Structure 1
Amino acid sequence: MKKLTVALIALGYVVGCAAKEIRIDKKAYAEKLQGFWLGQSIANWTGLITEMDKIGTPETMPFYTDDDWGKPDQKAFWGEYVPHASTINFYFETSGTPWGADDDTDIEYVYLHLHHKYKTAQLTAEQLRQGWLTHTYSETDAPLYKKFADSTPTAENFLWVSNERARILMAQGMLPPQTSEVEHNQFYNMIDAQLTTELFGLLAPGKPKLALTIAELPIRISANHEAASIARFYIVMHALAAVIDHSLPRSQQVFSLAEQASLVLAQEQFPLKMYQFIKQHYQQNSDKSDWEATRDAVYQRYQLQTNDGYKYEQPFDAGINFAASLISLFYGQGDIVETIRIGTLVGWDSDNPTATWGGLLGFILGAQGVKNAFNQHQLSDSYWIHRTRRNFRDYTPTQAGEDTFSLMAERSIKIINRILEQTAPVQYWLIKSE
């Protein structure tokens, strides 16, 4: 915890303590939370189209480029197409059809539910363990899943690598953070925690130190060392998005968030060095539309070679996907449409970085802003959590799916109120709309 404490102190000097009072309009913030879930869902399902299609073997499987947008999707490296789209393009669900849960949104939904259920500012290790065991399937009790109409049904619990290993350990009685210790979980440095913890930043608006405190055990369910640091980077960006300077151009807004979040990255670890390399490559590139040049530089520097203390292992490493996400962040310049498009094409585990930025930019824009950005005004507000997880209340029994982004936002406001009352009653005010 020493390194994390030092990072939090440094972060506090820059962003955490400048404003003595933060006033948040409940109605406006709820609309932003709806934008988070909507933007994340669009990005998740768009990025899934190219997930693992291009994993850094350009001799036999060349990377995608801008020219591939709108063209037929290619098979992922395991030899399958996705069932929900045949072309590389934005994916939308319209009113009447729910957004399906996926691993980029469903564990965050579990945490939202647990905070609501236990009425607590910070979940305990045992509450997290019981929540995972109650709401995720094991490898043995997972339902049969048909990926395609003509495919053979197979059991699928929608957990992979580090999350899958952590669940096995929790079923054996182990608690976090032990579930991410190197001697127990060989996948501790995979991407998993990035997918599951960004929400905590939004539950502590304007207070990144508080967000990191309540997120630490959820992070450590599946991530350790650099992978945990990368998850903290994203959480800080989400926490600071609540107090962003809206007078700045959108590109400066997101670059400022990233720069402040980089303070949680330790000097001696590779994520900070990756961040600095990619930022510099972007800044020195005279063609700000040529994201492919930086992607190719990342491939050379971090996959073909070992640099900055990072050694590539798998296409779902936290490291290579952190690098990929930064490419889409910088070259997307705060434009949600362009950021998701680039993230979908850039390669590796493409649905994860896109979902992260879709959620962040969706929060900044709000739900209506997301609809305006894509010129899609009949987008679904419904969510189908039982696609991947189990044992949740059906909040919408008369319609498809079990919940809506609107209802999820309402519960989030109550959770935020409780977190602020229990941790920082003087510095926060959630106010009703005027």
Structure 2
Amino acid sequence: MFDQNRPSTQNLNRAEYLDKVLGCWTGKNIGGTLGTPMEGKRDIFNVTFYTQDQKGVPAPNDDLDLQLVWLQAVEEHGAEHITERLLGEYWMGHIIGPWNEYGVGKVNISNGLVPPLSGAVNNDQWKNSNGAWIRSEVWACMFPGSPDEAASYAWMDACVDHADDGIYAELFTASVEAAAFVESDIRKLIEIGLTKIPADCRVARSVKLACSEYDAKHDFVDARNAIVKENEDLGWFQAPANIGFTILGLLYGEGDFGKTVCAAVNCGDDTDCTGATAGAILGIIKGRSGIPKEWIEPIGETIKTVAINPFKLDVPKTLQELTDRVARVAFETWVRNPTLIPISDAPTAIDDAYRAKLLSSGAVAKRLWQRSSMILRYPLPYGCFNIQYVDGPIAKPGEPLRIKLWLNRLVLDDKSVHCRWELPEGWTAEPGCEVAMLAHHGNEVVKEVILIPGEFGGAYEYVLLEITLAGRFNPEYITVPFQLTGCVQNDHRQNTQDHWDARNRLSARRASRPL
């Protein structure tokens, strides 16, 4: 299936790789099941093992089952063909979970605000939340030892329903998890993750605070409270604090699997997420063979889903089946991408130069965190047409909106591209409805247009843009969506808190009833 004799100074032993992938999914199931009863609670806990009898079955957890959708997308299209728009369509077709940012992303896509707009628009309350970083393991397992590659796919994944720190959080976890296939030192892994996100973002601040609390030998509860205080302006169910809790678990757990997942969960808040990610990271480091059996036996080997439509998706029944499918994709991807670390029967060999490279931010990471959630990319037969909403896609009649246009990934060279806006009645454009640009291979020419909206016919207007390449008689057409200001209201934060408060009251009443 692939050439094991291709020259490389690096290598991952196949058996070790498979053990680590299985360890990842096992740790994910364990941590998620451990944290499920505490999810949404703001208390500090003191759990040391499962608090529920699972009877050999794990708790259903969207942290894992959302990744099954991405796996099928890669299986059906190949990793090289994955885009944020394609993942958005798989999201619409397979994911039924309506919660918070998941629901916002689906509504936005339904209204034409496709990824990455879907994660940034109408989403101020949840764009920095936890729904993305909890589903990063699939990219790490597909690109073991290659954190930049994993982070690139994590960006496309996260932007479907997140922006800003919601995206940075997944860049961080995907990078840490991918690096964990070749690096076992927790502090070095944290350092690698920090090189892949902006140094001043909220996720980075929480990670650094967790490290400083641990280095100062502060009590675990005091460290947890420091993370809460640092992020109290963001509120609960937000990525910066919960990433911080996950790091506290990894640090204060000091390499012990049980202590690690319990410490992450004991911080409270989004406990199934923090426990699951801490378990997955340690599962990669230790491999399935290094996870204590007493943590595996109570939940068994199956996969239970909660947020996906099982009738339209090929859901693996066991962790081993999931491992085999992910590994098959990783092998096939390596064949097509010679920059990736080979996976073969030879012993694992990672040299010092490669390890040092993992700690470098590099061009890929910087390009990712500078990537705008306000740029739509439209593939054309001869290149990729880009539209940037400088002022965002939410419009008010009479107020100008700056739009930037450019063409890149051009197959041809030195070609004039003619663009013409077909504006709704009452809309105007400056300097006019038509603009021409000279497109060069590898040299982007950006044109700025100012649209002045008129009245909207409804909540949305879909403005037609005609694009014609010089020498071609057939134009290409794309629609550019705009949303009328004030037409969408989103009060999910209070609704969500009401939900968790009601659920916790119900749980307390059940616990108080005599048997």
What is the TM-score of this pair, normalised by structure 2?
A: 0.61
CA separation in 2, counterparts of 1:390 and 1:188? 27
CA separation in 2, counterparts of 1:376 and 1:325? 20
Higher relative contact order (CA 8 A, sep 6+): 1
Residue equivalent to 1:263:
195
Residue equivalent to 2:318:
404
Residue equivalent to 1:59:
none
Residue identity (%): 19
Residue equivalent to 1:342:
263
Matched, 1:218 2:147: no
Residue equivalent to 1:76:
none
Matches within 5 A, 1:56-71: 63-66=43-46, 69=47
Answer yes or no: is the 8 Å Cα contact 1:208–1:235 preserved in 2.
yes
Please state which structure has a larger fraction of its residues in strand: 2
* CA-to-aligned-CA distance 1:293-348 (integer Å, 9 cap, x gap): 11122233432xxxxxxx32x31111221222222121112222111111221111
Residue equivalent to 1:369:
290
Matched, 1:360 2:321: no
CA separation in 2, counterparts of 1:256 and 1:166? 34
* CA-to-aligned-CA distance 1:178-197 (integer Å, 9 cap, x gap): 11124566521111111222
Residue equivalent to 1:319:
240
**Offset, 1:134:** 1.9
**Structure of higher CA gyration radius:** 2
Matched, 1:30 2:42: no
**Offset, 1:388:** 4.5
CA separation in 2, counterparts of 1:129 and 1:426? 27
CA separation in 2, counterparts of 1:334 and 1:131? 37
Answer yes or no: is the 8 Å Cα contact 2:30–2:299 preserved in 1.
no
Taking a change above 3 Å as real, the CA distance of residues 259 and 92 of structure 1, as seen in their structure-2 partners, is: farther
Answer yes or no: is the 8 Å Cα contact 1:26–1:431 preserved in 2.
yes
CA separation in 1, counterparts of 2:325 and 2:88? 22
**Offset, 1:432:** 3.5
CA separation in 1, counterparts of 2:106 and 2:66? 12
Matched, 1:178 2:99: no
Query: Partner amino acid for 2:186?
Result: V
CA separation in 2, counterparts of 1:109 and 1:394? 8
Matched, 1:382 2:302: yes
Equivalent position to 1:297, from 226, 233, 246 = 226
Answer yes or no: is the 8 Å Cα contact 2:140–2:175 preserved in 1.
yes
Answer yes or no: is the 8 Å Cα contact 1:199–1:238 preserved in 2.
no
Residue equivalent to 2:327:
413
Residue equivalent to 2:140:
201
Q: How many matched pairs?
A: 341
SS at match of 1:391: coil
Point out where structure 2 has 5 or more consecutive residues left out of the alignment: 1-6, 348-515
Please state which structure has a larger fraction of its residues in helix: 1
- Cα RMSD of the aligned pairs, angstroms, is 2.6
Matched, 1:391 2:311: yes
SS at match of 1:239: helix
**Offset, 1:120:** 3.1
* CA-to-aligned-CA distance 1:281-302 (integer Å, 9 cap, x gap): 211126xxx3111112223343
CA separation in 2, counterparts of 1:220 and 1:387? 18
Query: Partner amino acid for 1:44?
Result: G
**Offset, 1:393:** 5.5
SS at match of 1:243: coil
Matched, 1:285 2:244: no
Matched, 1:115 2:74: yes
SS at match of 1:385: coil
* CA-to-aligned-CA distance 1:124-144 (integer Å, 9 cap, x gap): 23421221122122xxxxxxx
**Offset, 1:204:** 0.8
Answer yes or no: is the 8 Å Cα contact 1:52–1:348 preserved in 2.
yes
Point out where structure 1 has 5 or more consecutive residues left out of the alignment: 1-18, 55-62, 71-87, 138-157, 246-252, 304-310, 396-401
